[in-house]
Structure 1
Amino acid sequence: MILNIAAYLFVPIDDADALAGRLRARAAADGLRGSMLVTPEGLNLFLAAEQATLRGFLDWLREDPRFATLHAKESWSEAVPFKRLRVKRKAEIITFRRSRSSPLEVGARAPVVTPETLARWIGQGHDDAGKRLVLLDTRNRQEVAYGTFAGALTLPIDKFTELPAALEEHREALRDATVVSFCTGGVRCEKAALWLRQDGWDNLLQLDDGILGYFEQAGGAGYEGGCFVFDERVALSPALRPLVDGGGIA
């Protein structure tokens, strides 16, 4: 079986160009495939390989003190779901183009909800204070089409940069709710939740580790369909297995 990992970490990187070169050389030598984004604000990784090889690469990466806390969400496949290795130097971990949307700028993450806590809230229909619960999908319409949490607020966006404008019309209707934002692996929630809280959404939280972390830690309670992923598997079921033709569970 092939190990697939999704990981990101916000951390200052002042040698992004040089680091991208070192990562490319090591990953290529190891025969890894997938994508790595290297930015001044951190890393964003989607990689696949035989288990021992990929774990060895992650151990090597974590030897750099900057990346010692890198957490990888795992899933498995029968074949490598990437055609090649791509290492890109970017300005942002995920393009949002809004200031003070990174924990490095703000000094802290937005408040998080663990997968286990969210599963409990979904089951009881409200948060622990009794407030109504609204799940906010921060992904684009193509991703949402493969599945989302039952009853989630989804937005008609094609790019992450469109989210603030699309969400604005819902501001008043959501003032009395606890809003939990979610995305594939958590990185968009990091940016969206920070920026939105500074824009007055003080009732907005983020799902820690995103949908993939929820599947891994809490199963599929309250989720309908699959989660779109950025590789040849297309979408994963709550069991972290590929969907069949976008429909039934493999």
Structure 2
Amino acid sequence: MSQSVLNIAAYRFTPLSDLPLWKERFLMRTRELDLRGTILVAHEGINLFLAGTEQAVNDFVTWLREIEPFAEIEVKYSWSDTVPFKRMKIKIKNEIIRMNHPSVHPFEGRAPSVDSHTALRWIRQGQDDEGRPVMLLDTRNEFEIEAGTFKGAQHWHLDRFTQFPEAVHDHYDEIRDKTVISFCTGGIRCEKAALYMNEVGLDHVYQLEGGILKYFEETGGAEFEGTCFVFDERETLDPGLHPKPIVAHEESETGVDKADKADKT
């Protein structure tokens, strides 16, 4: 079967007001294009996962980029045989990724970032360009990490992203003299994570630009082991961005069940 369904994941931190109006605009446009997926809308921006025909998805992205707050939104693309969402859901949230730390405002200034190729070079060198040891920090939830992560990456056994600030303080001395590359699925969590670590005095922290999905696009997944959990019915993607469903025991939750309870991206 040919992969005829285009999937996108994207987010944009930008201050928004009148959230019900934004919800209605997104609902009308996705209905017109027969798209399915999820869009989260908050005063700090949007976070979206959509799927449909190539033409429909590209039309949506073009329309979105014509709206001033989203003109520079970055999109991650992948393909599937079928639409991995049952319906279109648009939700108004307090945060597009919940951290419960009100002083972190990504729309006021992004954290420093490294692109995929720079990250790969640093990983293989074991140090950044100034000779400082590099540590990869997985900011995702533990069940996502079980599907795959970077070789040698550190993680703090999080069940929710709201636990991240406390974990930083618990591990502060371990990371204070290293260059930290924080990473996640698509960039949204590691952006907030990097900003928080900058805020508490860690000077050499970067986010992986575009997260694991962009890294897969640009490098083919070098130095990554396993697959990347995604928040739809595909469950995980391999480094070639091909779906690899999780094999679950009959009594266990599936990846989709867990995703419904978890922070996204």
TM-score range, shorter chain: over 0.9
Instruction: State the alpha-carbon separation in 2 of the partners of residues 163 and 175 from structure 1.
Output: 16
Query: Which aligned pairs between 1:119-158 and structure 2 lie closer than 5 A?
Result: 119-158=120-159
Equivalent residues, number: 245
Q: Classify the secondary structure of the residue corresponding to 2:159.
A: coil
> 1:171 offset after TM fit, Å?
1.2
Query: Which aligned pairs between 1:90-109 and structure 2 lie closer than 5 A?
Result: 90-104=93-107, 107-109=108-110
- Look up the match of 1:208: 209
Task: Confirm or deny: 8 A CA contact 2:183 2:212 kept in the other structure.
Answer: yes
Identify the match of residue 78 of structure 2 among 66, 71, 75: 75
- Look up the match of 1:232: 233
Instruction: State the alpha-carbon separation in 2 of the partners of residues 209 and 17 from structure 1.
Output: 28
Query: Does 1:27 find its partner at 2:30?
Result: yes
Instruction: State the alpha-carbon separation in 1 of the partners of residues 160 and 126 from structure 2.
Output: 30
Task: Confirm or deny: 8 A CA contact 2:127 2:133 kept in the other structure.
Answer: yes
> 1:102 offset after TM fit, Å?
1.9
> 1:74 offset after TM fit, Å?
0.3
Q: Classify the secondary structure of the residue corresponding to 1:221.
A: coil
Identify the match of residue 87 of structure 1 among 84, 87, 90: 90
Instruction: State the alpha-carbon separation in 2 of the partners of residues 130 and 228 from structure 1.
Output: 32
Task: Confirm or deny: 8 A CA contact 1:4 1:46 kept in the other structure.
Answer: yes
CA RMSD of aligned residues (A): 1.4
Identify the match of residue 43 of structure 1 among 40, 46, 51: 46
Structure 2 residue runs without a partner (length 5+) = 249-265
Query: Residues 193 and 246 (structure 1 numbering): CA distance in 2 closer, same or farther, change over 3 Å?
Result: farther
Q: State the identity as a percent.
A: 49
Task: Output one character per residue of 1:116-172: Cα deviation in whole Å (capped at 9) or x when no partner.
Answer: 100111112211111111000000001111000011111111100001212322211
Instruction: State the alpha-carbon separation in 1 of the partners of residues 221 and 90 from structure 2.
Output: 32
Q: Classify the secondary structure of the residue corresponding to 1:118.
A: helix
Identify the match of residue 14 of structure 2 among 11, 16, 40: 11
- Look up the match of 1:174: 175
Instruction: State the alpha-carbon separation in 2 of the partners of residues 164 and 171 from structure 1.
Output: 10
Query: Residues 194 and 216 (structure 1 numbering): CA distance in 2 closer, same or farther, change over 3 Å?
Result: same
Query: Does 1:63 find its partner at 2:66?
Result: yes
Query: Residues 214 and 98 (structure 1 numbering): CA distance in 2 closer, same or farther, change over 3 Å?
Result: same
User: TM-score, with normalisation over the residues of structure 1?
Assistant: 0.94
Amino acid at match of 1:185: G
Task: Confirm or deny: 8 A CA contact 2:235 2:246 kept in the other structure.
Answer: no
> 1:246 offset after TM fit, Å?
5.3
Structure 1 residue runs without a partner (length 5+) = none
User: TM-score, with normalisation over the residues of structure 2?
Assistant: 0.89
Instruction: State the alpha-carbon separation in 2 of the partners of residues 171 and 208 from structure 1.
Output: 23
Task: Confirm or deny: 8 A CA contact 1:100 1:194 kept in the other structure.
Answer: no
Task: Confirm or deny: 8 A CA contact 1:102 1:190 kept in the other structure.
Answer: no
Task: Confirm or deny: 8 A CA contact 1:146 1:246 kept in the other structure.
Answer: no
Q: Classify the secondary structure of the residue corresponding to 1:184.
A: coil
Amino acid at match of 2:113: V
Instruction: State the alpha-carbon separation in 1 of the partners of residues 44 and 168 from structure 2.
Output: 25
Which of structure 1's runs of 4+ aligned residues deviate more than 6 A?
Answer: none
